[in-house]
Amino acid sequence: MGVVNTTPDSFSDGGRFDSFDMAFGHARRLIDEGADMIDIGGESTRPGAARIDADEEIERTVPLIRALREVSDIPISIDTSKAEVMQAAVAAGATMINDVWALRQRDALETAAGLGVPVCLMHMQGTPETMQRDPRYTDVVAEVIEFLAGRIEAAQRAGIPRERIMVDPGFGFGKTIAHNLTLLDALGELRELGVPLLVGLSRKSMIGKILDKPADQRLVGSITLAVIAAMHGADILRVHDVAETADAVAMLRALREVQA
């Protein structure tokens, strides 16, 4: 899954892709590089980032989804928590909802169910504004699994069939470096939830902190974590550097073939 941010203040693109042309060109490049899916987000969830209203989020994402639909059949996921944005994005051609709030915002659950597209339910402790202040868990793995199991149940009760649900432990969303690494190491346990696992580690601040490197120098760290996640059973990798990650995953796939 290749990430296309349309936010002027996104985590790691630093506003480089804030205009339509830049975002469109970037998305096309990720498709050429071998992305199986594109994730388009219009609201930054970076710690402390300001919230924007649905109209602005729609203005940033819908023209891009429409334009991509004209040139490609690639699955497009909309990274949003707002029911209005989900609706507009799917009408424009998005085929999946990726929600860092796991459909806990107003009308999100019912709207996603009505739209009939697959959903990714992500764990987050707290809110984007405050989540990195002092994240605490007694048992981070057990608590993330319990949360995700609860959200799977809520989604199913709202009418989203299990076959359309995937989950994500939400690396960096209300988690210290130790929490992130513990979750990465225990990723296999999340497979017991019985739905596909999506993970996003690409360029995250954990890499920056461990390597003491800014976002544009986290490629090797990102690839390394992507490979580890894939080895531990991740099904979908949400990444910025598609070509490089695709090569890394191809090596792992070759290994799997001799193991099979």
Structure tokens at 200: 């996003």
Which of the residues 60, 151, 175, 204 is marked catalytic?
204
Of the two residues 45 and 61, which places its CB atom closer to ligand 7PJ in the complex?
45
Q: Is 157 a catalytic residue?
A: no
Query: What minimum distance in Å lies between the beta carbon of 218 and ligand 7PJ?
Result: 10
122 binds ligand 7PJ (CB under 6 A): yes
Taking contact as CB under 6 A, which single stretch among the options 101-109, 156-164, 168-176, 178-186 is the one that binds ligand 7PJ? 168-176
State yes or no: residue 238 binds ligand 7PJ (CB under 6 A). Answer: yes
SS3 for 67-125, per residue?
Answer: HHHHHCCCCEEEECCCHHHHHHHHHHCCCEEEECCCCCCCCHHHHHHHHCCCEEEECCC
From the list 245, 240, 216, the residue with the least C-alpha distance to 228 is: 245
**Residue 29: burial class (beta carbons within 10 Å; 0-12, 13-18, 19+):** middle
Tell me: does residue 241 bind ligand 7PJ (CB under 6 A): no
- One character per residue 101-120, x = contact with ligand 7PJ (rule: CB under 6 A): -------------------x
Q: Total residues contacting ligand 7PJ (rule CB under 6 A)?
A: 16
Q: C-beta of 257: minimal distance to ligand 7PJ in Å? A: 28
Is the Cβ–Cβ distance between 170 and 127 less than 8 Å?
Answer: no
Task: Give 96-100 contacts, CB < 8 A, sequence gap 24+.
Answer: 96/37, 96/120, 98/39, 98/41, 98/122, 98/198, 98/238, 100/45, 100/124, 100/128, 100/170, 100/173
Position 24 contacts ligand 7PJ (CB under 6 A): no
Please state, in angstroms and rounded to a whole number, the distance separating the CA atoms of residues 223 and 220: 5
Any residues with CB less than 8 A from the CB of 249 and at least 6 apart, and which? 226, 227, 230, 237
Figure out which of the listed residues 67, 168, 183, 190 binds ligand 7PJ, where binding follows CB under 6 A: 168
Does 179 participate in binding ligand 7PJ (rule CB under 6 A)? no
Nearest residue (beta carbon) to ligand 7PJ: 200
Specify the stretch interacting with ligand 7PJ by CB under 6 A; choose among 150-158, 183-191, 198-206, 250-258: 198-206
Q: Minimum CB separation from ligand 7PJ for residue 10, in Å?
A: 7
Say if residues 4 and 40 touch (Cβ distance below 8 Å): yes
Catalytic annotation present for 191? no
CB neighbour list of residue 239: distance below 8 Å, 6 or more residues apart: 1, 2, 3, 200, 202, 222, 226, 245
CA distance 183 to 169: 7
Q: By rule CB under 6 A, what string of x and - marks binding of each residue 208-227 to ligand 7PJ? A: --------------------
The site map against ligand 7PJ for 55-84 (x = CB under 6 A) is ------------------------x-----
Active site members: 204, 238
Could you list the residues that contact ligand 7PJ (CB under 6 A)? 3, 11-12, 45, 79, 98, 100, 120, 122, 168, 170-171, 198, 200, 204, 238
